[in-house]
Structure 1
């Protein structure tokens, strides 16, 4: 009997050791190792890929928010909006707006909407986003920030943390209604280049004296230390705004920033309205549409 019990205990010990070995091997496979799993990507890898939505380069509807640039201000006539020349939603054949490039002329006429407003700053964007979201667009374009830097003085420029909070609020307003809508964000234009390009034009400088973007454009011929520092302060604020746009957009899986394309664009006087030498002409609007289209239809951001 004792021998029988010893044999039973030995058999149990062997079985327990075998089970322990299997459990150990299983644990190693579960936690991963240097070798790839024999059956393809892990469940974690598959879940990670599913978390990133595929960008749709062919949206079926579009809404635009922003400021006077998106309203086509001074592109057709003096001191007035010209939404038909808007880079985002316009119908002018010279511009070939983003909406027309993406949707085609007929569909663009019925499935694109422009909620931008001349003079708008980033603080106005949440309200514009709410109105845009009500249309249930597949894509929303954002171009805002120039008016936050173009103030009566450097001291009146929108602080960067406030600018960031306003932009975050705008995206949140969209996400409440359209969690899966795509967003294209254009960088703030290079305002210092506006000054350097337009200051050689006598008429342009006279128009600027009416009060256009005083923080950058007032006393266009002044080259003293104070004027130089003032312009540099505006330039640095624009760069900081663009960093905010890039950072906040990167946190949203369905948002694409233009990578600084608008800021980096080496525009000339032909791209500027010859009524104010500040806003884009039709030629400038067409280039904005082209840059946006290139970013949105690219396979990668």
Structure 2
């Protein structure tokens, strides 16, 4: 099978499995490698773009129904209204990259660490990583991924990609500010009713309308976990010269109510995907200055 055909088939299979199962949402840590960053070539283009992540990168629930909507994905989407990273690369270079979607609903950092070699086997030029929401958003607070475990798995994932594809560039994105979702929906009876009836994100959204001290403290612990994940992402990426972090840009994004899906009051809407793409793009420009400048 030719290289391009193999990538398209791999991506289609990944998307097929992702659509089938929808949910709401070791290794040494962050050691410096001796590898030098790949040198950008003037006029170079990204022939193959891969995204590693969860349901956010699949556009789940963004198009008004309980389903994936990959055409509006912030990373690889084709919808003109989103201006995805793939579309921006095409605009900057004149070449539309092939896309490899290694994202699954409900994926956490352990899932993507295990899949890293498979992603890299597709020989992408650029890998975008957005993961961590499902590590914090658990059915119960005691199941939130510990920060040290997240750090180890994230470093293992980065090193797995690099080991299989030494010339690849990686852009590591911070975990979105999940507390914003609760702030945006806590006064909406529809959102509160849906969150309280769903087991998917009890760690943050359970008892959504409660102001009891225990519930306030529980939400605060989720916020602390997300902050710790973001520190781990930045440190792991900064220690690897072939990785560019977003310096917290995605986490710092201020989402409006219209940026959140009306289906579950959790995932980004189409407008939210566009907002995310705009915030994610500057890190790509830093990672590939000669290709995008």
Q: Which of 61, 78, 95 is 1:91 aligned to?
A: 78
Partner of 1:142, secondary structure, is strand
Deviation at 1:292, TM superposition (A): 1.6
Cα deviation, residue 294, structure 1? 1.6
Q: Secondary structure at the match of 1:256?
A: strand
- Contact kept? 2:253, 2:279, Cα under 8 Å: no
Moved more, 238-247 or 164-173: 164-173
Q: Which protein, 1 or 2, shows the higher relative CO under an 8 Å CA cutoff with sep ≥ 6? A: 2
Q: Tell me, yes or no, if structure 1 residue 249 matches structure 2 residue 223.
A: no
Supply the distance in 2 between the matched residues of 1:178 and 1:74 (Cα, whole angstroms): 32
CA distance in 1, matches of 2:287, 2:171: 14
CA contact under 8 A between 1:142 and 1:183: conserved in structure 2?
yes
Aligned residues: 251
Deviation at 1:106, TM superposition (A): 8.6
Of 236-245 and 184-193, deviating more is 184-193
Deviates more, 1:139-148 or 1:186-195: 186-195
My pick for the range that moved more, 168-177 or 54-63, is 54-63
Report the counterpart of residue 292 of structure 1 in structure 2.
280
Any runs of at least 4 consecutive aligned residues in structure 1 with deviations exceeding 6 A, and if so which? none
Q: CA RMSD in A?
A: 2.2
Per the alignment, residue 258 of structure 1 pairs with: 246
Structure 1 gap segments, 5+ residues each: 1-49
TM-score normalized by the length of structure 2? 0.80
Q: Normalized against structure 1, the TM-score is what?
A: 0.78
Picking from 183, 186, 196, the partner of 2:170 is: 183
What SS does the aligned partner of 1:194 have?
Answer: helix
Once the two structures are TM-superposed, the CA of residue 79 in structure 1 deviates from its matched residue by: 2.1
Aligned residue for 1:141, secondary structure, equals strand
1:140 alignment partner in structure 2:
127
The structure-2 alpha-carbon separation of the partners of 1:52 and 1:62, relative to structure 1 and needing over 3 Å to count, comes to closer
Counterpart check, 1:64 vs 2:45:
no
2:157 is aligned with 1:167: no
Q: 1:14 is matched with which residue?
A: none
User: How far did 1:69 drift?
Assistant: 0.4
Does residue 100 (structure 1) correspond to residue 75 (structure 2)? The answer is: no
Gapped regions of structure 2 (runs ≥ 5): 1-34
- Per the alignment, residue 114 of structure 1 pairs with 101
In structure 1, the residue corresponding to 2:208 is in which secondary structure? coil
Is the helix fraction higher in 1 or 2? 1
> What are the Cα deviations for residues 208-263 of structure 1, in whole angstroms up to 9, with x where unaligned?
12234110111111111101100000000000000000000011101111111111
For 1:270 and 1:239, locate their aligned partners in 2 and report how far apart those are by CA, in whole Å.
25
Q: Which one is further off, 98-107 or 240-249?
A: 98-107
Between Structure 1 and Structure 2, whose CA radius of gyration is higher? 1
